[in-house]
Chains A and B, each alone.
Chain A
Amino acid sequence: MPSATVNDFFIALTNDSSSKEDLEKVYTGLSNFVDAFNSDKSIRLCLINDIYPSSVKNDLIAQIVSDCNATRKFLEVVIEFNLLKSFIESREFFLKKLRRLLGKVKIEVVTIDLNQKEKLELIKSKLEDIWGSNLELSFKEDPKILGGVVLQVEDKYFDGSLMGKVNELKKINLKGELNV
């Protein structure tokens, strides 16, 4: 008899959460869980290590995902079926799948200065113009890019920074020929 996979439980989770609000809650819960997992080493060690009993892991998950019961149950079942490692390995894939269901686009924007609020608003409005208003935007500061902006839209990468232009120049030799 073939055993259940994380994807089976995930499909069940998304089918049960029929309304968009429910899906939004599931997405928020899973995002919180993934953020906590990525940022906190002790949580990561506790959840991945087999020496901790399921009850400890469930308590930890209940603390992280307190707002959404469906997400909590999903994660508890995943732990019960010993599929947490598989889920963790594919966490970005499942979050992306949920975003697609919600019509949401995740965009990470890198600029040289986060203090220029007007510029950030301008970028936000332009991005909404391109990908719609349902965006999950995050801004990062990196002075090394010299100017312009770098976008990570889901799995696509757009480099509009001055450092990117400089790096393109590195591919051209002194005679003006392109080094491939």
Chain B
Amino acid sequence: MSCQNFELLIIDLARNQIVEATARQSTLAHLDTCAVCAQRFADEKDLTARLRVLAAESGIDRPSQDVEVSLAQVFRLMSKDNAVATDSIVTRRRWKVAAVAAAVLAVAMSLYAFHLHGRPSPGNIATKHENNVETPKKDSTAGAPQPSVEQNLAGVHESRQNPVVKHRHKTNAALTHGTSSTNSETTAEFIMLPTAGNLAPLESGQIVRVEVMRSTLIAIGFPMDAERANESIKADLLLGQDGVARAIRFLQ
């Protein structure tokens, strides 16, 4: 074994740590041949002995009893605080659970009411349903067939020539044009919007169910009862390929 290899093991040997048996033997054999390493090993062993004496001497030293007493007091105080804090957390959690349950119940009831009556809260202009005119789909809520583009466009052209509002009340069974979302819903034919005259011809589009204030319709030129201007009315908007509304039909 060289002195460099010995240097790697000297600390472990001097500290009586577990060293592989063959390494230990060769290290101890090296001590017989190298006086410098032997002296260094003796120094290290001496240091280990001194450190052990110091460890043994100071090992009997203990912190005063006051430390334990004061810590126990602190622990008691903090345990009480924690208990109070935990109680308040539990109470708060219960309130939260109750609030969430109430909110869920309210949402469920409003959804149920919506399905029963099919009327959202008045005053909102909300998109209810979208249908691509190019690929007509069945209305999932009503189950009634969606009118084809030709039918819709025919209605628009017809009303363009005669821009008088023609409300045609239909029963669900007698529907030939338009959509009904519930059994009680009746539709009118599409009416050309006054602003749509200068737009590009309609090639494709979408029908969007909206709820509009009567005042808005008065503003764009529809003859409406001014006394009921604050009321909303359900309608289907026909949007062109450019996203601009071309025609409207009213629902009751």
A and B: bona fide binding partners: no
User: Which residues of A does B touch, CB under 8 Å?
Assistant: none
